[in-house]
Amino acid sequence: MGKARATGARPKAPGARAGARGGRARPNPNPFEVKVNRQKFQVLGRKTRHDVGQPGVSRARAIQKRTQTLLKEYKERDKANVFVDKRFGEYDSSLSAEEKMMRRFALEQQRHHEKRNIYNLNEDEELTHYGQSLADIEKLNDIVDSDSDPEERGTLSAELTAAHFGGGEQPHKRASQQPGPEAERPRSRKELIEELIAKSKQEKRERQAQREDALELTEKLDRDWREIQGLLARRPPQARSTAQEKPQPDAYDRAVRELGFEMKAQPSERMKTEEELAKEEQERLQRLEAERVQRMLGTGEDQDSKAPAHVSADDLNDGFVLDKDDRRLLSYQDGKMNVQEEQNGEASDSGNSEEEKEEEEGEEEAEDSGSSDSHSDLECGEESEEESEQAPRQPPRRREAGRGQEARAAARTELPYTFAAPESSEDLRALLTGRSVEEQLLVVERIQKCHHPSLAAGNKAKLEKLFGFLLEYVGELAAEDPPDLGVIDRLVVPLYNLCQMFPDAASESMRFVLRDAMHEMEGTIEAKGRAAFPGLDVLIYLKIAGLLFPTSDLWHPVVTPALVCLSQLLTKCPVLSLPDAVKGLFVCCVFLDYVSLSQRFIPELVNFLLGVLYMAAPNQPGPGYTLVPPFRPRGKHSELLVVSDEGDVATWQRGSLSLHWASARHTQTETEANHTRLSCLAVCLALVRRCVHLYGALPAFHDLMRPLRALLAQHLAGGRHPHELQELCRSALADMEAQERRYQPLVCERSKPVPLKLFTPRLVKVLEFGKKQGSTKEEQERKRLIHKHRREFKGAVREIRKDNQFLARMQLSEIMERDAERKRRVKQLFNSLAEQEGEWKALKRKKFKK
Amino acid sequence: MERARGPRGARRALGRLLEAVLADRAEANAVFDILAVLQAEDPEEIQDAVRACSRLFGALLERGELFVGQLPPEETVMAGSQGANRKYKVWMRHRYQSCCNRLAELLAHPSFQVKELALGTLMKFVQLEGAHPLEKPKWEGSYLFPRQLFKAVVDGLLSPEEDCSLLLSQFCTYLEHDDLRYHAMRAATDAVARVADAHAEVPLAFWNNVFTLLSAVSLPRQESDVASFYVKHAELSDKWKVTHLKEHRKAFQLMWLGFLKHKLPLSLYKKVLVIMHESILPHLAQPSLMIDFLTRAYDVGGAISLLALNGLFILIHEHNLEYPDFYRKLYGLLHPPVFHAKHRARFFHLADLFLSSSHLPAYLVAAFAKRLARLALTAPPEALLMVLPFICNLLRRHPACRVLVHRPRGPELDADPYDPEEEDPAQSRALESSLWELQALQRHYHPEVSKAAGVINQALSMPEASIAPLLELTAFEIFERDLKKKWPEAVPLEFIPPPGLLGRRDDLCAQHFSLR
Three-class HEC string of B286-343 = CHHHHHHHHHHHHHHCCHHHHHHHHHHHHHHHHHCCCCCCHHHHHHHHCCHHHHCCCC
Backbone angles phi, psi at A42, to 5 degrees: -95, 130
Higher pLDDT, A492 or B233: A492
Mean pLDDT calculated for residue range A550-564? 90
What is this structure's pTM? 0.61
Residue B108 pLDDT > 50, yes or no?
yes
Mean pLDDT throughout A714-726? 76
In this predicted structure, the answer to whether residue B387 has a pLDDT above a threshold of 60 is yes
Task: For residue range A73-97, list pLDDT tens digits in order.
Answer: 888 888 888 778 888 877 778 888 8
pLDDT tens digits for A14-51?
444 444 444 444 566 778 888 888 888 888 887 878 88
Q: What is the mean pLDDT of residues A577-606?
A: 90
Size of interface A-B (CB pairs under 8 A): 280
Distance from CA of A744 to the nearest CA of B (A): 5
Which of A378, A571, A702 minimises the CB distance to B496? A378
Between A45-54, A595-604, A796-805, the lowest mean confidence (pLDDT) is in A45-54
For residue A774, give the 3-state DSSP assignment: coil
Residue A29: is the preceding peptide bond cis (ω within 30°)?
no
CB pair distance less than 8 Å for B495 and A744 = no
Q: What residue type is B328 in one-letter code? A: R
Per the model's pLDDT, the better-predicted residue between B298 and B367 turns out to be B367
C-alpha A373/C-alpha A384 separation (Å) is: 9
For residue A389, the model assigns a pLDDT of 40
Q: What is the pLDDT of residue A240?
A: 47
pLDDT at B388: 92
A305-317 tens-digit pLDDT? 433 444 444 545 5
Shortest Cα distance from A588 to chain B (angstroms)? 9
Among A103-112, A406-415, A725-734, where is mean pLDDT lowest?
A: A406-415
Residue of chain B with shortest Cα separation from A601: B444
Interval A209-233: pLDDT, tens: 999 999 999 999 999 888 888 777 6
- Please judge whether A567 and B475 are an interchain contact, meaning their C-beta atoms are less than 8 angstroms apart: yes
Is A688 within 8 Å of chain B by CB? no
Nearest CB partner across the interface for A748, out of B341, B421, B459: B459
Range in A113-122, A755-764, A778-787, B289-298 with the lowest mean pLDDT: A113-122
Give the burial class of A817: count Cβ atoms within 10 A of its Cβ; 0-12 exposed, 13-18 middle, 19 or more buried.
exposed
d(CA B361, CA B426): 9
Report whether pLDDT(A156) > 60.
Answer: no
Which residues on chain B are in Cβ contact (under 8 Å) with A310?
493, 495
Instruction: For residue A352, name the pLDDT band (cuts at 50, 70, 90).
Output: very low
What confidence tens digit (pLDDT) does each residue in B149-194 have?
888 888 877 777 777 778 888 788 887 787 788 888 888 888 888 8
Q: In terms of Cα–Cα distance, which of A238, A237, A159 is closest to A193?
A: A159
What is the DSSP annotation of B150-183? HHHHHHHHS-SSS--HHHHHHHHGGGGSHHHHHH
Q: Is the pLDDT of residue A386 over 60?
A: no
B110 vs B142, which has greater pLDDT? B110
**Weakest-pLDDT range from A69-78, A542-551, A580-589, B82-91:** B82-91
Res A365: pLDDT: 42
CB A14 within 8 A of CB A52: yes
What is the pLDDT, as a whole number, of residue A813? 95
Is some CB atom of chain B closer than 8 A to the CB atom of A490? yes
Of the partner residues B444, B491, B515, the one whose CB lies closest to the CB of residue A600: B444
**Contact between chains at B377 and A704 (C-beta distance less than 8 A):** yes
For chain B positions 329-358, those within 8 Å of chain A (CB to CB) are 335-337, 339-342
A33 versus A2: which is more confidently predicted? A33
Q: Which residue of A has its CA nearest to B379?
A: A603
Task: Identify which has the larger pLDDT, A182 or B187.
Answer: B187
pLDDT at residue B349 is higher than 60 = yes
Are A616 and A641 in contact by the 8 Å Cβ rule? The answer is: yes
Contact status, residue B272 vs residue B207, Cβ threshold 8 Å: no
Greatest alpha-carbon pair distance for chain A in Å reads: 196
Task: Specify whether the CB–CB gap between A545 and A558 falls below 8 A.
Answer: yes
Number of other residues whose CB lies within 10 A of the CB of residue B93 = 22
Long-range CB pairs of B465-474 (<8 Å, 24+ gap) are: B465/B389, B465/B392, B465/B393, B467/B348, B467/B352, B467/B386, B467/B389, B467/B390, B467/B393, B468/B349, B470/B385, B470/B386, B470/B389, B471/B344, B471/B345, B471/B348, B471/B349, B471/B386, B472/B345, B473/B382, B473/B385, B473/B386, B474/A522, B474/B382
The ipTM (two decimal places) reads 0.77
User: Which of the two residues, A261 and B485, has the higher pLDDT score?
Assistant: B485
Burial class (CB in 10 A: 0-12, 13-18, 19+), A221: exposed
Q: What is the mean pLDDT of residues A728-749?
A: 84
Q: Does A283 touch chain B (CB under 8 A)?
A: no
Q: Which residues of A touch B267 (CB under 8 A)?
A: none
Mean predicted confidence (pLDDT) in A271-295? 84
- Within 10 angstroms of residue B261's Cβ, the number of other Cβ atoms is 13
Mean pLDDT value of segment B138-159? 76
Chain A residues within 8 A of B449 when measuring between CB atoms:
none
pLDDT over 60 at A522, yes or no: yes
Predicted confidence at residue B130, as pLDDT, reads 76
**B507 touches A: beta carbon within 8 Å:** yes
Mutate to test the interface with B, among A474, A593, A688 (most CBs of B within 10 A): A593
Sign of the alpha-carbon torsion through A714, A718, A721, A727: positive
Give the pLDDT mean for B70-88: 74
Interface membership of A689 toward B (CB under 8 Å)? no
d(CA A657, CA A581): 11
**Residues B71-91 as b or e (16 or more Cβ within 10 Å = b):** beeeeebeeeeeeeeebbbbb
Between B10 and A26, the more confident residue is B10
Contacts with A, B 421-460, CB within 8 Å: 421, 434-437, 439-441, 443-447, 450, 456-459
A739 interaction partners in chain B (CB closer than 8 Å): none
Query: Mean pLDDT in chain A?
Result: 75
- What's phi and psi for A601, nearest 5 deg? -95, 135
Residue A71 has pLDDT above 60, yes or no: yes
pLDDT of res. A654: 82
Under 8 Å between Cβ of A613 and A709: no
- Which pLDDT does position A182 carry in this prediction? 45
Give the whole-angstrom CA distance, residue A412 versus residue A429.
19
Q: Is the pLDDT assigned to residue B311 strictly greater than 90?
A: no
Amino acid identity, residue A205? R
With beta carbons under 8 A apart, name residues in chain B contacting A493: 497-500
B25-39, B96-110, B445-459: the lowest-pLDDT one? B25-39
Put simply, the answer to whether B497 touches A496 (Cβ < 8 Å) is: yes
Q: Tell me: pLDDT of B509 over 70.
A: yes
Q: What is the pLDDT of residue A239?
A: 46
Interface check for A343 against chain B (CB to CB < 8 A): the answer is no
Is it the case that residue B477 has pLDDT exceeding 80?
Answer: yes
Asked if B468 is an interface residue toward chain A (Cβ–Cβ < 8 A), one would say: no
pLDDT of A300 above 60: no
Distance from C-alpha of B421 to C-alpha of A624, rounded to nearest angstrom:
8
- What are the tens digits of pLDDT across the range A627-656? 887 888 887 888 888 887 888 888 888 888
Q: Which helix (H) or strand (E) holds B359?
A: none
Under an 8 A CB cutoff, do B446 and A560 touch?
Answer: yes
Express each pLDDT in A806-849 by its tens digit.
999 999 999 999 999 999 999 999 999 999 999 999 999 999 88
pLDDT at A326: 47
Closest CA to A37 of A23, A22, A17, A19: A17
Does pLDDT of A289 surpass 90?
no
Chain A residues close to B387, C-beta within 8 Å: none
